[in-house]
């Protein structure tokens, strides 16, 4: 576990308590090790992700939990990129799996659209696109300054995320997969469209629909029920998953998983370090707790994952929430409420 910065420290603290309780009751055999990577260590030592850490993660760990990284004292976000993007790229975690579904009808911000209508999962490409850091600045700080950021899309990278989306859709009884790209303006995105059509042909039972990303964003708000699975680029996926979080009740409830079936997975909330809330006990721990539930499920602990989700669902249903969900509880009190319901669950 890497608690990281800001509210990351507070929300991971609640997950530790929940995992301890599950360990005690269900004897999962999980052991947790904490790493102090984040702004504090970076400011002291200049190191974000220590050398050799990727190998350690690969060989010694079955999963990584991250709270959040980002701190106003590091304005260029250098440490966060080193840690988070370092792990995503270094471990080749090409699937950023981000489900969007409200835990209760009242959490949806849309009129007459609730848990029935909003239930979609975004497959965000997670290792290339404009995040490849190809480019740079020239004549910085002068009137002639030039800044270049290039997008990388490889056939291998595009094909594997599209295939992952279809595979998951097919294994989970979904009927439709949508692609979001900008091939009408960015010629290179034609690779996405062509690959999408080719992979879709292998899944005749699944309807494949193509959208330009701007129209897709609109449709997600006006007709979210259109979507079951969305596959898209790294940057578009970053933006769409905050929108998806908004449809689910906000960043306080949106979980995610960074996956590659052959590597060590990383679980984290969609939200960041929320400097405006940090240290005040106001952060919602639910997104982090649901990210840990995704971890438990993928570690083969389906019963533990089910219990966590059910306990979270109950706290939300009963209004035992932080302010972002209309409640009055602190981060710690929401953790207590979830723990209480976990203990109440039939053994």
Binding site for ligand NAD (CB under 6 A): 7, 11, 68-70, 77, 80, 84, 251-252, 268, 271-277, 283-284, 287, 324
Q: Among residues 238, 268, 324, 333, which is the contact residue for Mn ion, using CB under 5 A?
A: 238
Min dist CB 245 to ligand NAD, Å, is 9
The item of ligand NAD, Mn ion, ligand IPM, none sharing an interface with residue 287, based on CB under 5 to 8 Å by kind, is ligand NAD
Contacts of residue 286, defined as CB under 8 A and 6 or more positions apart, other chains included, come to: 103, 252, 253, 312, 316, 321, 325, 334
Query: Helix/strand/coil (H, E, C) string of 276-329?
Result: CCCCCCCCCCHHHHHHHHHHHHHCCCHHHHHHHHHHHHHHHHCCCCCHHHCCCC
- Rounded to whole angstroms, the Cα distance separating 310 from 223 reads 27
Min dist CB 294 to ligand IPM, Å, is 14
- Rounded to whole angstroms, the Cα distance separating 309 from 104 reads 13
Min dist CB 233 to ligand IPM, Å, is 12
Nearest residue to 78 via CA among 116, 114, 37: 37
Q: Three-state SS for 12?
A: helix
The item of ligand NAD, Mn ion, ligand IPM, none sharing an interface with residue 252, based on CB under 5 to 8 Å by kind, is ligand NAD
Q: Which two tokens stand for residue 335?
A: 């953790």
Residues 82-111 contacting ligand IPM, CB under 6 A: 84
Residues 43-72 contacting ligand IPM, CB under 6 A: 70
Min dist CB 210 to ligand IPM, Å, is 24
Residues 115-154 contacting Mn ion, CB under 5 A: none
Cβ nearer to ligand IPM, comparing 84 with 103: 84
Q: Among residues 57, 270, 290, 316, which is the contact residue for ligand IPM, using CB under 6 A?
A: 270
The item of ligand IPM, Mn ion, ligand NAD, none sharing an interface with residue 220, based on CB under 5 to 8 Å by kind, is none
The item of ligand IPM, Mn ion, ligand NAD, none sharing an interface with residue 273, based on CB under 5 to 8 Å by kind, is ligand NAD
- Rounded to whole angstroms, the Cα distance separating 289 from 292 reads 5
Strand order in the sheet with 176-181: 2-4, 64-68, 266-269, 255-259, 95-100, 120-125, 229-232, 176-181, 207-212
Residues 199-258 contacting ligand IPM, CB under 6 A: 238
> Given the rule CB under 6 A, which residues bind ligand IPM?
70, 80, 84, 238, 270, 272
């Amino acid at each position: 576990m890497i608690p990281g910065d800001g509210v990351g420290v507070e929300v991971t603290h609640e997950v530790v308590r929940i995992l301890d309780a599950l360990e005690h009751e269900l004897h999962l055999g999980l052991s947790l090790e904490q790493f102090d990577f984040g702004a504090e260590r970076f400011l002291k030592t200049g190191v974000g992700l220590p050398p050799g850490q990727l190998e350690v993660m690969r060989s010694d760990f079955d999963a990584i939990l991250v709270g959040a990284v980002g701190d106003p004292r590091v304005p260029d976000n250098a440490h966060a990129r080193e840690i988070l993007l370092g792990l995503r790229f270094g471990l080749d975690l090409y699937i950023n799996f981000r489900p969007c579904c409200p835990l209760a009808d009242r959490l949806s911000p849309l009129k007459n659209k609730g848990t029935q209508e909003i239930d979609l999962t975004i497959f965000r490409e997670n290792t290339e696109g404009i995040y490849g850091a190809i480019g740079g600045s020239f004549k910085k700080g002068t009137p002639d300054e030039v800044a270049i950021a290039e997008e990388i899309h490889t056939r291998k990278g595009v094909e594997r995320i599209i295939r992952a989306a279809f595979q998951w859709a097919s294994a989970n009884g979904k009927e439709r997969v949508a692609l979001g790209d900008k091939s009408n303006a960015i010629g290179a995105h034609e690779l996405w469209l062509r690959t999408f059509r080719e992979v879709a042909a292998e899944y005749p039972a699944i309807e494949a629909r193509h959208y330009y990303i701007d129209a897709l964003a609109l449709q997600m708000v006006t007709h979210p029920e259109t979507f079951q699975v969305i596959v898209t680029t790294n940057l578009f996926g970053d933006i769409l998953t905050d929108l998806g979080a908004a449809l689910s009740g906000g960043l306080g409830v949106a979980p995610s998983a960074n996956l590659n079936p052959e590597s060590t997975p990383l679980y984290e909330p969609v939200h960041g370090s929320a400097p405006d809330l940090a240290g005040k006990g106001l952060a919602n721990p639910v997104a982090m707790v649901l990210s840990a539930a995704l971890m438990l499920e993928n570690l083969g602990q389906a019963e533990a994952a089910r219990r966590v989700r059910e306990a979270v669902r109950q706290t939300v249903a009963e209004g035992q929430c932080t302010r972002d969900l209309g409640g009055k509880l602190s981060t710690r009190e929401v953790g207590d409420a979830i723990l209480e319901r976990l203990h109440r669950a039939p053994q």
